[in-house]
Amino acid sequence: MPTLPYALCRAVLGVYTGTLLAFCALTAQALVIPAGQTGTVAVIQRFGSGLQLNLHFHTLALAMPRASGPTT
């Protein structure tokens, strides 16, 4: 069974995380959080336990943007 090229997997991950971070930025604007920051950590998994091709991402993301800088 052919494997997916690593560059293609990275491109798909880039679109996925870009969309997720854009949603968080829109949420920050809606909640009036100036210069809100968020982040993600993602791992690409290309194979399942039986070595079948099964592209998916394991992602940890901050649920809500946080304000940058000192708070009062």
pLDDT at 1 over 60: no
pLDDT number for residue 15: 93
Tens digit of each residue's pLDDT (9 = 90 or more) over 45-66 = 877 666 666 778 888 887 676 6
**Cα separation of 55 and 52, whole Å?**
9
Tens digit of each residue's pLDDT (9 = 90 or more) over 9-37 = 889 889 989 998 888 888 878 877 777 77
Q: What six digits make up the tokens of 17?
A: 């995380």
pLDDT number for residue 44: 83
pLDDT at 39 over 90: no
CA contacts within 13 A on the Cβ side of 57: 16
- Cβ within 8 Å of residue 54, ≥6 positions away: 45, 46, 47, 48
